[in-house]
Amino acid sequence: MLQLYTFGGLRIECDGQPLQLPTHKARDLLAYLITFRDRPHPRPVLAGILWPDLPEEKARRRLSDTLWRVRRAAGPDVIQADEDTQAFNPACDHWLDVEEFEYRAQEAGRKEQTTTSCILRLASCIP
């Protein structure tokens, strides 16, 4: 299982072991797709965000290479991609601190009174 920690900077683990992505751009791409995981992103937009100073064709080639690097390091199903878009795959085997925090915050909001145990459960999401 892939564990993704985004609070305080991106940290990735696979089955409890640290996982290093091979380049800063690979980290940037995965972090962006995790942060904006609610929708697919057009490839030209991602290329422009990650390589704003390059011509579009060259930036898109780098994006394809970076996608390959992320998949090679983190697993082939982490990012959904087609000819036009890329997105974080919510169906991949993962745990994401932000999702856990949101779930626990909703759980705490359903209670009539916020208890110490609710606060501790929320705090446990942040390393």
pLDDT at 25: 97
DSSP letter for 12, please: E
* Average pLDDT over every residue of 9-29: 95
pLDDT at 125: 62
Closest residue by Cα to residue 64 from 49, 43, 78, 80: 43
| 20-56 residue pLDDT tens | 999 999 999 999 999 999 999 999 999 999 999 999 9
The pTM for the full model equals: 0.84
